[in-house]
Structure 1
Amino acid sequence: MSWNFVRRVAQLLIGLFLYGFAIGMMLQAGVGLSPWDVLGQGTSLQTGIAFGWVTNLIGLAVLLLWIPIRQKPGVGTVLNVLLIGPSAEVGLAVVPAPAELWAQILLFAGGLVLLAAATGLYIGARMGPGPRDGLMTGIHARFGWRLWAVRSGIEVAVLATGWALGGSVGLGTVAFALLIGPLVSRTLPFFHIPEIPSAMPAGAAPATDAEPDPRPVTGG
């Protein structure tokens, strides 16, 4: 077992745990959530099922949508479905909900930065995209629709559904939409683990590792 593989697995697990923990922080801040988390919170409120379990179930449902678009999950995809919900529950359990607005904003900002770092960690491990990421990129690949249009259409529908169910939409939702892309564009290259090149004939020039797409789809 190579050191590169051990590093990828460790980075994947740490990234997924921190991703869920960051969601818990932003949920406790109470100033708005990402579209998928608005849906998770709204579903939790309507069903009485804990937020973490709802997150897992939504991830599983999205993963099933990969079948008609012929996407294949990786190990990281499956672990994403299994681990983000429980780690979000850890965040909810250990991070108190602040009462003052300034503290709410600081908590949300900390959660957003942590989520961006966690996204760079788990995507940079190169062990499979999250179910929501794969759904959007899979639809783009299968039908040729523009990625931004696919992403926007799905997230608007998810946000509207979650809001109708009672999920929290606020300034944090707007901040997430505006800031997560630029933040992740910084963390992805930093945490990206390059592929080890295979043996090449003597004198052949090694191929450079491609830089990851700086415009990732987030939400797990």
Structure 2
Amino acid sequence: MIQSAPLASLTRLRPAGQYLLLLSGLVLYGLSLRLMLNAGIGVAPWDVFHVGVTRWLPLSVGQVSILSGLVLVLYTSLNLRERVGPGTILNVLVIGLVMDLLSEAVPHPTQLAWQGLQFALGVGLIGLATGAYVGAGLGAGPRDSLMLGLQRRHGWPVVRIRTGVELAVLLAGVLLGGPVGWGTLAFALMVGPSVGFGLGLFGLRGGARAQKA
């Protein structure tokens, strides 16, 4: 853990501060996803899937995100015996709600330069958001729980699990008609450094707490 990180002290907050940090991170995460989605140049693999489902069911993107999160929580808790913390449930609910609430508030740019700028802002914010909600230490998100549960049960490398899950979800989303663009590739290349920077701000880069949260 990097004790000298600018926001490292925030990871040692009392419970009220932990929840405030968690909710701030989740709201920011929902905003970052909506920024990328409204940019119209492609989205992250899970959102390719979420949008793809909306082509077939009368649901919003946020509602599909919530439902898929609940399915993952049930699977990881019952089959993989992963702990469900308050942060896990709030992760499922808050991100999807924020995505829907900001649907019209976030711009829908039509010029490529503005689309790229808005998408890049979304990717940048996702790192800060991840650092905040992981730093709160109140439980992993449903997709992270799936990754950690599979790693614990099968002993597979986390990178291989994460890559396999993301590719499977992306393929399913494409088959359902989800939006894939050059932004999808840009996300794959940029999200690692963004999240690494965000975790580093909270003193969690490579730390044990980052693995648990």
The TM-score bracket by the shorter chain reads 0.7 to 0.9
> Percent identity between the aligned chains?
42
**What's the offset of the Cα at 1:105?**
0.5
Q: TM-score, normalised by structure 1?
A: 0.85
What is aligned with 2:110? 99
The counterpart of 2:136, out of the listed 116, 125, 134, is 125
The aligned length equals 198
Matched, 1:51 2:61: yes
Matched, 1:190 2:201: yes
The counterpart of 2:207, out of the listed 207, 211, 217, is 211
CA distance in 2 between partners of 1:13 and 1:192 (Å): 19
Runs of 5+ unmatched residues, structure 1: 194-209
Matched, 1:12 2:22: yes
**What's the offset of the Cα at 1:28?**
0.3
Matched, 1:69 2:87: no
CA distance in 1 between partners of 2:86 and 2:92 (Å): 10
**What's the offset of the Cα at 1:164?**
0.9
Conservation of the 8 A alpha-carbon contact between 1:40 and 1:54 = yes
Conservation of the 8 A alpha-carbon contact between 1:188 and 1:212 = no
**What's the offset of the Cα at 1:172?**
1.0
Runs of 5+ unmatched residues, structure 2: 1-11
**What's the offset of the Cα at 1:157?**
0.6
1:166-217 CA distance string (max 9 Å, x none): 1111111111111111111111131258xxxxxxxxxxxxxxxx83588x8x
The counterpart of 2:152, out of the listed 110, 132, 141, is 141
What is aligned with 2:127? 116
Tell me, what secondary structure is at the counterpart of 1:97?
coil
**What's the offset of the Cα at 1:3?**
5.5
CA distance in 2 between partners of 1:77 and 1:177 (Å): 24
Q: TM-score, normalised by structure 2?
A: 0.88
Conservation of the 8 A alpha-carbon contact between 1:24 and 1:90 = no
CA distance in 1 between partners of 2:203 and 2:208 (Å): 7
Conservation of the 8 A alpha-carbon contact between 1:25 and 1:92 = no
Conservation of the 8 A alpha-carbon contact between 2:69 and 2:142 = yes
Tell me, what secondary structure is at the counterpart of 1:47?
coil
Alignment root-mean-square deviation, CA: 1.8
Which structure exhibits the higher relative contact order, with contacts defined as CA atoms closer than 8 Å and separated by 6 or more residues? 2
